[in-house]
C-alpha cells in the first residue's frame, strides 16, 4: 500500500508538472505572438504620419523629423518596458497585447501637437522656436498627467494582470513625456535650421535653388 501510494504520488506530480509546463508554453507563445501585429501597427503609424505631414513644398515638408519622432516614441516605449522588467514586473499577455498599441499611439499624438505647432510657425529664429515650444509644453504635459493619473487609478485593483499593466503604463507615460519634451525638440530645431537654409526634406544635403 505504501509503495502504491508513493507511485500514485509520483504519477500525480508528473501529471501536474506536464500540465503546468504546457500551460506555461502556451502563455509564452500567446504573449510573444503579438509581435507581428505590433509591427503592422507601427508600419501604419509611420505611413499615416508621413502622409499627413508631407508637403509638395520640399522645404516646408516634415517627413524626416516625423520619422525621427515616431522612432523616438517607439524607443521610449521599449525603454519603459525594459525599466518595468528590471523593476520586477513580469511581461504578461495583457501588457504585450494592449500597451504597445495604446502607449505608442499616445506618444505619437503628443508628437503631432509639437509638429503642427511648429508647422504653423513660419519663423526660423531661435526666439520664435523657444516660444512655440513653451506653448506646446502645457498641452503635452496636461495630456501626459491625465494619462498617468488614469493608469494610476488602476493600481487599486487586486488583480495582478490589471495593476501590472497599470504600473508599466505609468512608467511608459513618464518616458514618453520626457522624450517629447526633452529630446524631440532638439531634432525639431535641427529641422528648423534645415528649412532656414533652404535644404530639401529627407535629402537635406540638397539645397533648393532660389527662383
The percent of residues above 70 in pLDDT, for the chain, comes to: 82
**pLDDT, tens digit, 9 for 90 and up, residues 94-121:** 788 788 888 999 999 999 999 999 887 7
First to last CA, the chain: 101
Shortest CA distance to 181 belongs to which of 146, 150, 126, 144?
Answer: 144
CB atoms within 10 A of CB 69: 27
Tell me how far apart the alpha carbons of residues 93 and 91 are, in angstroms, rounded to a whole number.
7
**pLDDT, tens digit, 9 for 90 and up, residues 13-52:** 443 444 455 655 655 555 556 677 788 888 998 998 888 8
Residue with cell 499593466: 165
Confidence tier at 155 by pLDDT (50, 70, 90): confident
Confidence tier at 64 by pLDDT (50, 70, 90): very high
The 3-state DSSP class for residue 121 equals: coil
Tell me how far apart the alpha carbons of residues 25 and 141 are, in angstroms, rounded to a whole number.
41
- The CB-side HSE value for 195 (13 A sphere, CA atoms) comes to 25
DSSP H helix total and E strand total for the chain: 7, 0
Shortest CA distance to 101 belongs to which of 40, 184, 145?
Answer: 40
Amino acid at each position: 500500500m505504501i509503495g502504491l501510494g508513493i507511485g500514485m504520488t509520483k504519477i500525480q506530480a508528473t501529471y501536474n508538472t506536464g500540465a503546468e509546463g504546457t500551460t506555461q508554453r502556451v502563455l509564452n507563445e500567446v504573449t510573444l505572438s503579438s509581435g507581428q501585429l505590433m509591427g503592422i501597427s507601427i508600419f501604419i503609424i509611420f505611413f499615416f504620419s508621413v502622409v499627413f505631414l508631407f508637403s509638395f513644398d520640399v522645404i516646408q515638408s516634415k517627413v524626416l523629423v516625423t520619422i525621427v519622432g515616431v522612432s523616438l516614441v517607439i524607443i521610449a516605449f521599449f525603454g519603459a518596458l525594459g525599466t518595468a522588467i528590471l523593476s520586477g514586473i513580469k511581461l504578461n499577455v495583457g501588457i504585450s497585447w494592449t500597451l504597445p498599441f495604446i502607449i505608442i499611439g499616445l506618444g505619437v499624438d503628443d508628437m503631432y501637437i509639437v509638429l503642427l505647432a511648429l508647422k504653423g510657425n513660419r519663423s526660423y529664429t531661435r526666439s520664435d522656436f523657444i516660444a512655440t515650444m513653451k506653448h506646446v509644453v502645457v498641452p503635452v504635459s496636461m495630456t501626459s498627467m491625465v494619462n498617468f493619473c488614469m493608469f494610476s487609478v488602476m493600481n487599486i485593483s487586486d488583480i495582478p494582470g490589471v495593476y501590472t499593466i497599470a504600473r508599466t503604463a505609468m512608467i511608459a507615460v513618464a518616458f514618453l513625456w520626457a522624450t517629447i519634451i526633452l529630446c524631440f525638440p532638439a531634432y525639431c530645431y535641427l529641422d528648423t535650421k534645415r528649412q532656414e537654409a533652404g535644404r530639401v526634406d529627407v535629402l537635406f544635403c540638397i539645397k533648393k535653388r532660389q527662383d
